[in-house]
Chains A and B, each alone.
Chain A
Amino acid sequence: MSYLDYFCLSLKRDMQLAATQKHEFGLPLVFFVLVVLLVPLSVGPEINLLNRIAPAMGWIALILSMLIALPRMFAEDYDNGWLELVFISGQPPILAVLARMISFWLLYALPLVLSSILLVPFFQLAFEYWLVLAQTLLMGSFLITALGSIASALLLGSRKGSAVMALLVIPLLIPALIFATSAVDAVIQGLPNTGPMLMLAGISVLSITLAPIATEHSLKLMMS
């Protein structure tokens, strides 16, 4: 079997499995909306303020909802022994890891990024600003998936899940958050935002390149 075939098969398996448990994927979305709902209730319904903090809230809601979803990335495959099979199959495990990351991104991250359109009516964010925000969220979601895959692999054998997950992922996300919000702010102030956008893209590409290696290594450690 060629590497490409193996990769495609792994991806297909992940997607087919996901199709059998559709209800799973709604929960992070609901969580996203709940976080967005909390904001006007806590800072007050004044629209100018909400409008100003809308991009930041989109990012915070994305990070929190991803943190809810991340522990599930490898948990089931670990429990039912599939991961062990991946590692003794003789095929490079990194391909299966990559397939899992891509399927996770498609199933959890992409819907969250798209659902940030809710900020347009809720916080009266202008549509063209939302477009920029969505671009940053898109690149950020790659980064969160990549870093999260390492963290969720590392936490497979551990007892406490989500609190440690936040501690592992959030500090490493801060650069992306900084560049993303400054990119959106630049557009809102009518300035060019190429710089932060390129930095954000660079961080994402770097993490997508390196994370599968670290994830594979962590999974191997948990298998042994």
Chain B
Amino acid sequence: MFKWLHPYAKPENAYTLSEKIYAFVIPLATLCLIVGSLWGLLFAPTDYQQGESFRLIYFHVPAAIWSMGAYTTMGVLGFCALVWQIRTLELAVIAIAPIGAIFTILALATGAIWGKPMWGTWWVWDARLTSELILLFLYLGVFALYFSFDDKRTGGKAACILAVVGIVNVPIIHYSVEWWNTLHQGATITKFDKPSIAGDMLWPLLINIVGFLLLFIALSSYRFATELAKSEAHRKWVLKLVRKNLS
């Protein structure tokens, strides 16, 4: 069933593919982000209660959603890398970790900026904020573990194991923190329910969510390609590539 996938275990093919994905996705991501952000910041109606500062939602929610999505992706890829012993996937885990961490920081920062006028404080020990902070440390752990090895191959595998251990723990952490203390409002848009946000405000949000997803895909395939080339620097195809780019 997955035979078509096999050629991409070869670094050279994976490199070409991720370059192609990057080239294809980055314009779409830019388009989505520009449209979504401009629409959200300039044209969406002002919230009757929160005023203009509600517009941070257009960055906060997408960043928060994909900070979690990136971790899931990382865990699944790590699991596949360990089970099928695919070296290229280990590099994908490493490629995703810093992007996920940046998304997490972005979500935390925009949340804090929004929280100051709305809740009157930069930070509260609320469930969602806390689990987002823990998520940041999970990312940092994966990253720190990778860099604490001289042998990058061992480091990559170790990072995969940690990502898998983390993914088992993520739901436990999420629910335990949820029961511990919660102030954050519930989800505004869910799949199964009618969204509790007006359509004019919802559309730019959805566009930005898609935009952040595309940005995530583009950045991680770019980083993945770079990691691949770095780890295969002694191989012929990388040399050829460098020569081609120089000339």
Instruction: Point out residues on A near B: beta carbons under 8 Å.
Output: 147, 150, 154-155, 157-160, 164, 167-168, 170-172, 174-175, 178-179, 182, 199, 203, 210, 214, 217-218, 221-222
Measured in the bound complex, the distance between the Cα atoms of B137 and A2 in whole Å is 43
Measured in the bound complex, the distance between the Cα atoms of B66 and A212 in whole Å is 32
A150 touches which of B137, B138, B161, B177 (Cβ 8 Å): B161
* Interface SS, B side: helix
- List 23 contacting pairs A-B, 8 Å CB cutoff, sorted by A: A154-B145, A157-B149, A157-B151, A158-B149, A158-B155, A158-B158, A159-B149, A159-B150, A164-B144, A164-B148, A167-B144, A168-B141, A170-B137, A171-B141, A171-B166, A171-B169, A172-B166, A172-B173, A174-B134, A178-B180, A199-B176, A214-B161, A221-B158
B173 touches which of A147, A175, A210 (Cβ 8 Å): A175
Are A171 and B173 interface neighbours, CB within 8 A? yes
Q: Which residues of B contact A175 (CB under 8 A)?
A: 169, 172-173, 176-177
Q: Which residue of A lies closest to B168 (CB)?
A: A210
Instruction: Point out residues on B near A: beta carbons under 8 Å.
Output: 82, 134, 137-138, 140-141, 144-145, 148-151, 154-155, 157-158, 161-162, 164-166, 168-169, 172-173, 176-177, 179-180
Are B151 and A154 interface neighbours, CB within 8 A? no
Q: Which residues of B contact A221 (CB under 8 A)?
A: 154, 157-158, 161
Q: Which residue of B lies closest to A154 (CB)?
A: B158
A174 touches which of B148, B150, B177 (Cβ 8 Å): B177
Are B177 and A167 interface neighbours, CB within 8 A? no
How close is B102's CB to chain A, nearest CB, in angstroms?
A: 18
Q: Which residues of A contact B134 (CB under 8 A)?
A: 171, 174
Are B145 and A172 interface neighbours, CB within 8 A? no
Are B177 and A178 interface neighbours, CB within 8 A? yes
Q: Which residues of A contact B141 (CB under 8 A)?
A: 164, 167-168, 171
Measured in the bound complex, the distance between the Cα atoms of B180 and A137 in whole Å is 19
Are B166 and A222 interface neighbours, CB within 8 A? no
Q: Which residues of B contact A155 (CB under 8 A)?
A: 145, 148
Q: Which residues of A contact B149 (CB under 8 A)?
A: 157-159
B158 touches which of A167, A174, A218 (Cβ 8 Å): A218
Measured in the bound complex, the distance between the Cα atoms of B161 and A157 in whole Å is 14
A178 touches which of B82, B168, B176 (Cβ 8 Å): B176
Are A150 and B165 interface neighbours, CB within 8 A? yes
Measured in the bound complex, the distance between the Cα atoms of B157 and A222 in whole Å is 10
How close is B220's CB to chain A, nearest CB, in angstroms?
A: 22
Q: Which residues of A contact B151 (CB under 8 A)?
A: 157
Q: Which residue of A lies closest to B131 (CB)?
A: A174
How close is A142's CB to chain B, nearest CB, in angstroms?
A: 15
How close is B154's CB to chain A, nearest CB, in angstroms?
A: 6
Are B165 and A203 interface neighbours, CB within 8 A? no
Q: Which residues of B contact A170 (CB under 8 A)?
A: 137
| Contact A158 B176, CB 8 Å, known A218-B158, A221-B158, A221-B161 | no
Measured in the bound complex, the distance between the Cα atoms of B83 and A217 in whole Å is 11
Q: Which residues of B contact A203 (CB under 8 A)?
A: 172
Measured in the bound complex, the distance between the Cα atoms of B140 and A118 in whole Å is 35
How close is A39's CB to chain B, nearest CB, in angstroms?
A: 20
Q: Which residue of B lies closest to A202 (CB)?
A: B172
| Contact A160 B148, CB 8 Å, known A217-B161, A218-B158 | yes
Q: Which residues of A contact B166 (CB under 8 A)?
A: 171-172
Measured in the bound complex, the distance between the Cα atoms of B141 and A154 in whole Å is 12
Measured in the bound complex, the distance between the Cα atoms of B166 and A174 in whole Å is 12
